[in-house]
């Protein structure tokens, strides 16, 4: 097993804001955590689940694994921000601090605050637990990111 950085430290956190809870929304599929942050967020998750074997086999299916086996296609889009809106100048995403020795340079830049993720997966029930493996790609600033594999337990995303 290779250790993986799973938290994006390049996205600035605005320390002047109050963050009562640090995990109101889960990470966007296709990205490591903290691709966007803030005290406001908007998110849409959509999935299409197709129970392949239930469509192909016309008789009752005895196997719990086969009966619950599904292919999944999904797409997510969302953003998080501080300030009045995702596109406002006071959004911490638009500020980058560069420190070199005794000097600190603050750059104001415009990054597209909305990111999207998409992908596919397989899910079924094994030993009474719903398990899922998914491959997701992110779309940020007009570029597609490398895929990320997710393994999860549970019924939801």
For the chain, the domains span: 40-153
Residue with the larger pLDDT of the pair 123 and 4? 123
pLDDT over 80 (residue 20): no
For residue range 102-157, what is the model confidence (pLDDT) as tens digits?
998 888 888 899 999 999 999 999 999 999 999 999 999 999 999 999 999 987 75
Q: How confident is the model at residue 91 (pLDDT cuts 50, 70, 90)?
A: confident
pLDDT over 70 (residue 46): yes
Q: How many Cα atoms occupy the beta-carbon half-sphere of 35 within 13 Å?
A: 22
pLDDT over 80 (residue 3): no
């Amino acid at each position: 097993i290779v250790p993986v950085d799973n938290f994006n430290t390049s996205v600035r956190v605005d320390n002047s804001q109050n963050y009562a809870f640090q995990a109101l929304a889960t990470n966007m599929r296709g990205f490591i955590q903290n691709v966007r942050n803030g005290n406001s967020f908007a998110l849409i998750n959509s999935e299409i689940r197709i129970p392949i074997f239930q469509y192909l086999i016309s008789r009752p299916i005895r196997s719990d694994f086969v009966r619950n086996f599904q292919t999944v296609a999904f797409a997510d889009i969302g953003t998080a921000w501080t300030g009045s809106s995702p596109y406002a100048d006071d959004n911490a995403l638009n500020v980058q601090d560069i420190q070199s020795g005794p000097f600190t340079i603050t750059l104001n830049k415009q990054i597209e605050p909305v990111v999207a993720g998409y992908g596919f997966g397989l899910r079924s029930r094994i030993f009474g637990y719903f398990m899922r493996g998914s491959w997701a790609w992110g779309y940020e600033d007009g570029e597609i990111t490398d895929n990320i594999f997710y393994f999860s337990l549970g019924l939801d995303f």
